[in-house]
Structure 1
């Protein structure tokens, strides 16, 4: 079906110049996006990015859940420990999505500085790191299953 389309009408709900200006006019935090992203990616299970951004109560809760999961695993209560660690893992992935989408801000609700510059490349690197961890887990799991 070939035809002439009104692209303005077709893409009327997309990100506009007015949206970009509104985003850039929002107050910017002194907190850096790259630091928050690195903390979320590598120390996310203990809530490091939440401490950095000033969300202390939820950071303490996340740290407690992570430590509790590790303690239950060490005590031989693997089901409880794995359940707690699964909650922490899911919470960490959600935090990464919130951070990479620009939704997670500092405690004063200011956007993180450097997001517009580094958001895209950090998203790509996050996918690569998560896929790498998944492959590593599959290799270790398969090796453990074969070994015994």
Structure 2
């Protein structure tokens, strides 16, 4: 049975003109993709992009978790504080992926303005920034381990 399938025909041209037209005719938000992306990249741990896009309950939850993590670090409860900040950091990276894939939309489920134009360059910039932060974290971690 498997020999009867033409896999080239099955997987070729899966993104058709109808698909493109359906995407382009979706309602567009007044919210801008670049602003949401920049907020997620630089102020993501406090939920800034979620406030901007209108997701207030999850934005407040994200801000609360981050603040609780900082307070626990200040109160010298490092394990719990770092765990909360780690959860918020992972949530921020997930939000970035949702934005860059076009899955995260505004509160009315409309696609963000400028997504098709800027998503590729923003994805590349996101990778560079995340790798840069990773390098800085590694340098700080190894240098603090050496000085201890």
Q: Which category describes the TM-score, using the shorter chain as reference length? A: over 0.9
**Could you tell me how far 1:146 is from its partner in structure 2?**
0.7
Superposed counterparts of 1:1-148, under 5 Å: 7-11=8-12, 14-148=14-148
Matched residue of 1:118: which SS? helix
Separation in 1 of the partners of 2:18 and 2:128? 33
CA RMSD of superposed structures (Å): 1.2
Separation in 2 of the partners of 1:6 and 1:103? 29
Separation in 2 of the partners of 1:79 and 1:93? 21
Separation in 1 of the partners of 2:39 and 2:109? 19
The number of residue pairs the alignment matches comes to 143
Which region of structure 1 is more displaced relative to structure 2, 69-78 or 15-24?
Answer: 15-24
What are the superposed Cα offsets for residues 58-82 of structure 1, whole Å, 9 maximum, x if unpaired?
A: 0000000000000000000111101
What are the superposed Cα offsets for residues 36-64 of structure 1, whole Å, 9 maximum, x if unpaired?
A: 00000000000000000000010000000
Separation in 1 of the partners of 2:10 and 2:47? 44
Q: 1:6 to 1:84 in 2, by over 3 A?
A: closer
Structure 2 gap segments, 5+ residues each: 1-5
Separation in 2 of the partners of 1:62 and 1:10? 40
**Could you tell me how far 1:10 is from its partner in structure 2?**
3.2
Give the TM-score normalised by the residue count of structure 2.
Answer: 0.93
**Could you tell me how far 1:114 is from its partner in structure 2?**
0.0
Q: Determine the structure 1 residue equivalent to 2:3.
A: none
**Could you tell me how far 1:6 is from its partner in structure 2?**
7.0
